Amino acid sequence: MSESLTSGPMIEAIGLSKFYGNFAASRNVSFSVPRGQVAAFLGPNGAGKSTTMKLLTGFLAPSEGVAKIGGFDVAKQRIEAARLIGYLPENGPLYNEMTPQSLLQYSGEARGLSSAKLRERMEFVADKCSLKEVWGKSIGKLSRGFRQRVGMAQALLHDPEVLILDEPTSGLDPNQTFQVRDLILSLSKTKTILLSTHILTEVKAVCGRVILINQGRVILDGPVSEMEGATHDMEATFRQLTGGSSAA
Ligand X SMILES: Nc1ncnc2c1ncn2[C@@H]1O[C@H](COP(=O)(O)OP(=O)(O)OP(=O)(O)O)[C@@H](O)[C@H]1O
Q: Does 36 bind ligand X (CB under 6 A)?
A: no
- HSE at residue 160, side-chain half, CA atoms within 13 A, is 30
* Shortest reach from residue 26's CB to ligand X, in Å: 7
| Distance linking the first and last C-alpha atoms of the chain | 41
* Shortest reach from residue 50's CB to ligand X, in Å: 3
Q: Is 245 helix (H, G, I), strand (E, B) or coil?
A: coil
Helical packing angle, 144-156 and 174-187, nearest 10° = 10
* Shortest reach from residue 209's CB to ligand X, in Å: 18
Q: Which of 3, 8, 45, 132 binds ligand X (CB under 6 A)?
A: 45
Rg (C-alpha) for the chain, rounded Å, is 18
Q: Residue 239 contacts by C-beta under 8 Å, 6 or more apart in sequence?
A: none
* Shortest reach from residue 141's CB to ligand X, in Å: 25
Q: Does 168 bind ligand X (CB under 6 A)?
A: no
Q: Does 50 bind ligand X (CB under 6 A)?
A: yes
| Dist. CA 27–CA 64, nearest whole Å | 9
Task: Give Dmax over CA atoms of the chain in angstroms.
Answer: 53
Q: Which of 49, 83, 149, 209 binds ligand X (CB under 6 A)?
A: 49
From the list 46-54, 68-76, 109-117, 227-235, the region that binds ligand X by CB under 6 A is 46-54
Q: Which residues bind ligand X (CB under 6 A)?
A: 20, 25, 43, 45-51, 90, 248
